Amino acid sequence: MKKVELLAPAGDLERLKIAFTYGADAVYLGGEIFGMRSAAKNFTIEDMKEGLEFAHERGKQVFVTINIIPRNEELDQLKAYLLELDQIGVDAVIVSDPGVFSVVKETIPNMEIHISTQASTTNSLASNFWYNQGAKRVVMARELSFEEIKRIRDNAAEDMDIEAFVHGAMCMSYSGKCVISNYTTGRDANRGACAQPCRWKYTLFDEVSLGEYEPVVEGIDSSFFFNSKDLCMIEYIPQIIQSGITSLKIEGRMKTAYYVATTVRAYRMALDEYYKDPQNWKFNPMWLDELKKGSHRDYSTGFYFNRPDDTAHNYESASYIRNYDFIGIVRGHEEDSDLVIVEQRNKMNVGDKIEIIGPFKETMQANILEMYDEKNEPIESAPHARQIVKMKLDIDVEKDYMLRKPILTIRAL
């Protein structure tokens, strides 16, 4: 059985390496131009080179986004950029604009092309059109059901890849087509600069007569009625594979390395378990629990089973849910000692009871027994951002393992 691809976001070089370490088959990333995530750190050409080398040494792939809808003046630098990507060995480019598509075909004809979800492909005719133009892969619009995707698969060429988002933030509009951000802030969603006004608080009034207004919902002054829940499909791995999706895409190029690690790790475990025995695969609630230990909104299944109803939005809050703090990442071991070198990400203390995750490993419980600073002086806590500490734990850990601890909530009596 040909296995599906697990495709992870990479907002920078560290997250690229973490994605592959924790089980991704491929990553997608943006360069400094032509990408849809201007707020992400994004990659210089030199960073891409290093990331490609890291990926290819492990038999993995790197896809680069060129999925904005460009203006005429931006096209002048497109050909030179494409030639650079081709020269360094990028595996595929992700495009949405027909003009960009034509320039790719003309400039680097052997480059694999993926059609972005920004193209809003929702039917067989559109996906086959792109394939016949030379696209290898079509990313489905987020607004499709399993039934619709299966119909596209059944009417597509056998070697056309179908990619679909299975996890992450959802758009309240057709993906990337919202103009509220541009109208309210001048920040263009199709330039990668969306201000996410769908997460803002609004008050909705109805004009009952000329100049007279009443709240639509009595007793509620404001509401987050554009605020979509996050997508999470980890409970439905068999349905995903049976629909004909060949690449499972995780959203989140602006998320942290910890988010990438926890999300990739959970889906990797679920997929690996499926391929052991597809007929008897059972959902393990631990996988969902792991996803909830990262920063997230409430989850939904998006459009996969039917059109979302009013339960697919959170009307009370647009805030992320955080139950755990990511406190550090293992960078290595001190020579001739049992101390672990950790880069701090949130405050930790001697005596903390923590959890540790690693690639292809079950979650581990541990205690911080001792800590030392870079001068080998004993310390009781590590409060400084990205502080390098040496610590003694009561279990063995490896490079790139991640440390976390529960957030304690103090409630008034």
**Residues 64 and 114 grouped into a single domain:** yes
Residue 50 lies in a domain: yes
Dist. CA 271–CA 287, nearest whole Å: 11
**Residues 24 and 160 grouped into a single domain:** yes
Return the CATH number at 380.
2.40.30.10
CA terminus-to-terminus distance, the chain: 57
**Residues 241 and 377 grouped into a single domain:** no
**Residues 163 and 15 grouped into a single domain:** yes
Return the CATH number at 254.
3.20.20.70
From residue 330, alpha-carbon distances to 22, 112, 320, 326, 339 in Å are 14, 36, 26, 12, 11
CA-wise closest residue to 256 among 340, 345, 165: 345
**Residues 349 and 237 grouped into a single domain:** no
**Residues 300 and 337 grouped into a single domain:** no
Q: Supply the range of the domain harboring residue 121.
A: 5-170+230-305
Instruction: Among 26-40, 263-277, 278-292, 345-359, name the one with the lowest average pLDDT.
Output: 26-40
Specify the higher pLDDT residue, 225 or 245: 245
For position 222, what pLDDT does the model report?
A: 64
Instruction: Among 45-49, 64-68, 164-168, 365-369, name the one with the lowest average pLDDT.
Output: 64-68
**Residues 294 and 336 grouped into a single domain:** no
Specify the higher pLDDT residue, 312 or 116: 116
> pLDDT at residue 409 above 70?
no
For position 411, what pLDDT does the model report?
A: 44
Dist. CA 39–CA 388, nearest whole Å: 27
**Residues 334 and 281 grouped into a single domain:** no
> pLDDT at residue 410 above 70?
no
Q: What is the mean pLDDT of the chain?
A: 92
Dist. CA 340–CA 330, nearest whole Å: 7
> pLDDT at residue 413 above 60?
no
Taken as a whole, the chain contains a residue count of 413
pLDDT in tens, 75-122: 888 999 999 999 999 999 999 999 999 999 999 999 999 999 999 999
Tokens of 235: 């409970």
CA-wise closest residue to 89 among 103, 110, 104, 68: 110
For position 238, what pLDDT does the model report?
A: 98
- What are the residues facing 385 on neighbouring strands? none
User: What is the average pLDDT across 23-42?
Assistant: 77
Please work out, in degrees rounded to the nearest 5, the angle formed at the alpha carbon of residue 45 by the alpha carbons of 41 and 46.
95
**Residues 136 and 235 grouped into a single domain:** yes
Q: How do the residues of the chain divide into helix, strand and coil, expressed in percent and rounded to 5?
A: 30, 25, 45
Residue 146 lies in a domain: yes
**Residues 385 and 249 grouped into a single domain:** no
20 and 58 Cβ atoms separated by less than 8 Å: yes
For position 40, what pLDDT does the model report?
A: 46
Dist. CA 120–CA 127, nearest whole Å: 10
pLDDT in tens, 371-385: 999 999 999 999 999
**Residues 296 and 375 grouped into a single domain:** no
Instruction: Among 31-40, 187-196, 320-329, name the one with the lowest average pLDDT.
Output: 31-40
pLDDT in tens, 151-179: 999 999 999 999 999 999 988 877 777 88
Residue 279 lies in a domain: yes
pLDDT over 70 for what percent of the chain? 94
Grouping H, G, I as helix, E, B as strand and the rest as coil, residue 299 is strand
Please give the tally of structural domains in the chain.
Answer: 2
Specify the higher pLDDT residue, 17 or 198: 17
pLDDT in tens, 177-229: 788 888 889 888 776 678 888 899 888 888 888 888 887 766 555 688 888 99
Rg for the chain, CA atoms, rounded: 23
Specify the higher pLDDT residue, 309 or 125: 125
Dist. CA 239–CA 257, nearest whole Å: 28
Dist. CA 365–CA 355, nearest whole Å: 5
Provide the pLDDT confidence category of residue 37 given band limits of 50, 70 and 90. Answer: low
For position 364, what pLDDT does the model report?
A: 97
Residue 84 lies in a domain: yes
Taking the model in full, what pTM does it have? 0.92
Dist. CA 374–CA 191, nearest whole Å: 43
400 and 359 Cβ atoms separated by less than 8 Å: yes
Provide the pLDDT confidence category of residue 26 given band limits of 50, 70 and 90. Answer: very high
Q: What sign does the CA torsion over 325, 327, 328, 334 have? A: negative
> pLDDT at residue 408 above 90?
no
